[in-house]
Structure 1
Amino acid sequence: MHASISLVDDKSDQLASLYAWLQRDDELRGRVRSVAVELKSGDMGGVTETLTVALGSGGAVAVLAGTLSVWLSARRTRISVEITDGDSSRRVEIDSANANAAARLLREAYETTGGPS
């Protein structure tokens, strides 16, 4: 199971900041990758980047939620997190206004895509 994180506001400098922030966490270090994603035909723009985080357990989800909450609380940006397990996926958007609910939102997305309750 993994989480794909992208910036809704498409501020590429903020994605690099988030990548560095996630790498500082001992639990997430080595689980985070930057991935170039080509847009589909008809989409505006070129290649964008997302961050992918391997979520081996529910504990990793809680760590990711806490880390995202702190990072977002000091910024005016919005991120989209999609948790995927095979064919099942769930997307949530988190910003500074709902950063405190990040743990609940990510836990619900994790559980509805096949993670343990």
Structure 2
Amino acid sequence: MHLTITVQAEHMSDELRSLDQELAEADELRGHVRPVAGRGTSTELGVVDSALMVALGQGGAATVLATAVITWLRRRVGHVSVKITAPGKALELNVENVRGLTADQIQALVAELSDSLSAGSDAGPPT
């Protein structure tokens, strides 16, 4: 299953590159994440990365992705949100939702996000 991850932030391109680096550090995701180019805004010249495309395979990759995204978000400053779009669903997390969570709440959120992402990975192509 292919997922698209977008970031909304004041310095969107920098934050997207930072998330890309975070995901690249996970062995289960290495080689399965690639930036997707888009047009720059009126203040940016040329082509900039506008999203990340993730090829999510079987096994624990959904849990690794969920953990990496939540961990990355908890270290962000300011108003940063991440939208993960999969066939038939879109999930959104932001700094305000994850920063104050306890360890148990983080574990529950990782499990919920992982289950949601995994739900479509065996479904095959949409009809």
TM-score by length of 1: 0.75
Which whole-Å CA distance do the structure 2 matches of 1:3 and 1:79 have between them?
Answer: 12
Alpha-carbon distance change, 81 to 8 in structure 1, aligned in 2, over 3 angstroms = same
User: Is 1:83 the counterpart of 2:86 in the alignment?
Assistant: yes
CA shift, 1:8, in A, is 2.4
Counterparts of 2:96 and 2:122, CA distance in 1: 26
Aligned mates of 2:2, 2:90 — CA distance in 1 = 12
Asked if 1 retains the 8 angstrom alpha-carbon contact of 2:82 and 2:93, the reply is yes
Does the 8 Å CA contact 1:35/1:50 hold for their aligned counterparts?
yes
Q: Following TM superposition, by how much is the alpha carbon of 1:106 offset from its aligned partner in structure 2, in angstroms?
A: 4.3
Partner of 2:116: 108
Q: Following TM superposition, by how much is the alpha carbon of 1:31 offset from its aligned partner in structure 2, in angstroms?
A: 0.3
Greater fraction of residues in strand:
1
Q: In 1, distance between residues paired with 2:97 and 2:51? A: 21
Deviations 1:16-44 (A, max 9, x none): 00111111111100000001246xxxxx8
Q: Partner letter of residue 97 of structure 1?
A: E
Displacement of 1:91:
0.4
Aligned partner of 1:98 in structure 2 is 97
Shift in Å at residue 114 of structure 1? 5.4
Q: What residue number does 2:2 align with?
A: 2
Q: Where do 5+ consecutive residues of structure 2 fail to align?
A: 99-105
Partner secondary structure for residue 50 of structure 2: strand
Larger Rg: 2
Q: Which whole-Å CA distance do the structure 2 matches of 1:94 and 1:106 have between them?
A: 13
Q: What TM-score results when the alignment is normalised by the length of structure 2?
A: 0.70
Q: How do 1:13-52 residues align onto structure 2 when only pairs under 5 Å count? A: 13-37=14-38, 49-52=50-53
1:96 Cα deviation from its structure 2 partner:
2.5
Identity of aligned residues (%): 35
Instruction: For 1:35, give the aligned amino acid.
Output: V
Unaligned runs of 5+ in 1: 39-43
